Amino acid sequence: MTSNTDMSDSDEGLGRLVRAVNFAAVAHRDQLRKDGRTPYINHPIGVMNTLVQLAQCLNVDTLCAAVLHDTVEDTDTTIDDIERHFGPNVRSIVAEVTDDKSLPKERRKELQVIHSPHISPSAKLVKL
């Protein structure tokens, strides 16, 4: 289930990405953006689109992680759920960009700054 394949390399990669978008849409189904009107799923889809359009990223694991990046923070999805459905590579990227919501926002931001030099290139893209 893990893959470092490029989107242009396989139909399997496209299928995994579609499953990730659906998983995120279901997980975020009752959430709205801060404006109170826009479905939250627009944000992770937008992140994924930015990676494709501006960063020319076609790596399946990175794109899956982009669309799944807020599921662990903002829904009842666990990091183990991510691994079970999308493999250890996607799990690793999502874990790198997931904040501990039990900490105050200021501390979470401090930790992002501290950890940012040490995260993977894929996680850096998702954090853009």
Place of tokens 């242009």: 8
Residue 102: CB atoms within 10 A of its CB come to 7
Task: Find the helix or strand (DSSP H, E) in which 92 lies.
Answer: helix 88-97
Q: What is the reported pLDDT for 12?
A: 86
Our answer to whether residue 73 is catalytic in this structure is yes
- Of 11, 12, 61, 74, which residue is the catalytic one? 74
- Of 73, 80, 99, 106, which residue is the catalytic one? 73
pLDDT digits over 9-48, tens only?
678 899 999 999 999 999 999 999 999 999 999 999 999 9
Report yes or no on whether pTM surpasses 0.85: yes
Domain ranges of the chain: 7-127
CATH architecture of 7-127: Orthogonal Bundle (1.10)
pLDDT digits over 32-89, tens only?
999 999 999 999 999 999 999 999 999 999 999 999 999 999 999 999 999 999 999 9
Our answer to whether residue 96 is catalytic in this structure is no
